[in-house]
Structures are given as C-alpha cells and as structure tokens.
Amino acid sequence: MARNTHLIAYCKTDQGLKRSSNQDICLASTTCRCFAVADGMGGAAGGEIASALFLEAATEVFSGSEELPVTESRKKIQSCFALANRKIQSHVKTNPPHAGMGCTAELMTVTDNIFILGHVGDSRTYYFHNNTLTQLTKDHSLVQEQLEQGLISQEQADKCCYQNILLQAVGTKTDIKADIIRGIISPGTTFLLCSDGLYNMVNSEEISSVLSFDAPLPLKANMLIDMANDAGGNDNIAITLLHFPDDWTP
C-alpha cells in the first residue's frame, strides 16, 4: 500500500474465475501522483500487451514527477494517452496477428486539492464521499450512447447483450481523445478506479457498503474482488483505491 502525508493508495488485479489470463493492470503511486487501471482487449495475448503498454506509458510520463500546476498535470494525462496509443499501434504494425488490440483506461493525478482524470472506454472511476457513490465517467460504449439518445431504458441497458461494444479504446485508432475530468477533493473522499470486471458483477449499493466500511484499503480491495468472484467472476478485475483521510489538507 502506497502512502504519503497527503493520501493513501492501493491497487490490485485478479484473473477472475472464467478467463485464462489476466489482461487488466493497475497502478497506485503516491510518489509520482499517478493512479491507473487499464483493461486489455484483443485475443492472442494482444489485450495483455496493450494494457502493459499503457502502464509503460504512464510510468514513463509520470516518472519522477513532482507536484505540478493543474494545466501541466492535464497535459501529462493527455500525453500519456497519446503515448500509449502510439505504442500500441506501433506494436500492431510489427505484429499483425495482434491487429485490433487495445485497452480501456482510467488515469488520475492529483495537484493541491484538485484531481485530474483521463478516461477512455468502459472502465470507470467513482467518487465516494459522505456515504454517496458518484460515477464520474461515462462509458464509451454503444449501449451508453443508445441510453443517452433515449433509444433504450436503463433496465434494457443493464441487460443488453451488446455491452462489450466500445466506441473508443486506446490503440484502436490513429487519434485518441480522452475525456478529461477535474474536480475538488474533499477530506474523507475515496476514489475507486476499476475495470468492468468489478462493476458488472458488483452493484453500486454493494460497492458503497464496502467503501463505507472502516477498514484498510487492501482489505476493501480484497472484499470487492471476492464479491465479484462470488457473483461469478466472469472477467478479470482491476481496482485502484485512493483515499484522502478526514484530516487531509492539500
């Protein structure tokens, strides 16, 4: 578990019960102020390579970083997605069997009392404060687009068999445009970055019950993973937790 005077962070991935490999990655570095989750997509080990390349890009961009102004932090987030996109596309050019591989990704950094979050795909980031869980990101998926256009109901979206059809992922197109989300951090807040292997198995009420529990972050992460596996463990699971204690000050 990573800790400094400002925040506590922890991450963990799990293969789940149905997959033959783990294509999810996570990162929780309070030193570099870099927190991430990526979920690989693509057969023949391509997804595992894509998520690993995203982690490589994040490590390169944020390596040795000190706290930066908000504008510079935003640029680093954008640079990371662009670099990861280039790395994946370059790999595919020299490895044609991996064509179509990519990854979804959440990448967060913190400066003063501001968080800056980059988002591509259908991994998600949640904000938990005062016992209220808020989803910060919108899935880049066909189902989400149909839901926003009023073509289907939330109930239909939850049961739709096309939930895995993505409209955007890192590495699948020449250009990429990550959603950039920023906001104020309040003491007592917990951020949850996760792949769909968690939220497809564990609903919001169950996630809230774990995040509200007075326990160390590693125990909370293990509880969430166990709940996903108990519900079927249909996919790999990646979790990054970032907590700002009640006495935290920027």
Q: Which two tokens stand for residue 89?
A: 């596309």
Percent of the chain whose pLDDT exceeds 70: 86
Residue 218, sorted as left (phi over 0), alpha (psi -120 to 50) or beta, turns out to be alpha
Q: Which two tokens stand for residue 20?
A: 């033959």
Query: Residue 157: what pLDDT?
Result: 62
User: Is 117 in contact with 96 (CB distance < 8 Å)?
Assistant: no
pLDDT digits (tens, 9 = 90+) for 16-29: 999 989 999 999 99
Q: How confident is the model at residue 1 (pLDDT cuts 50, 70, 90)?
A: low
Domain topology for 2-137+167-243: Phosphatase 2c; domain 1 (3.60.40)
User: Average of pLDDT values for 189-209?
Assistant: 97
pTM of the model: 0.92
Specify the range with the lowest mean pLDDT, choosing from 98-102, 152-156, 174-178. 152-156
- The CA-based angle 76-57-226, given to 5 degrees, is 105
Query: Residue 88: what pLDDT?
Result: 95
Long-range contacts of 55-58 (CB under 8 A, 24+ apart): 55/25, 55/27, 56/84, 56/87, 57/81, 57/83, 57/84, 57/87, 58/27, 58/34, 58/84, 58/107
Mean of pLDDT over the chain: 90
pLDDT at 5 over 70: no
Q: Which amino acid is located at 48 in the chain? A: E
pLDDT at 42 over 80: no
User: Is 81 in contact with 107 (CB distance < 8 Å)?
Assistant: yes
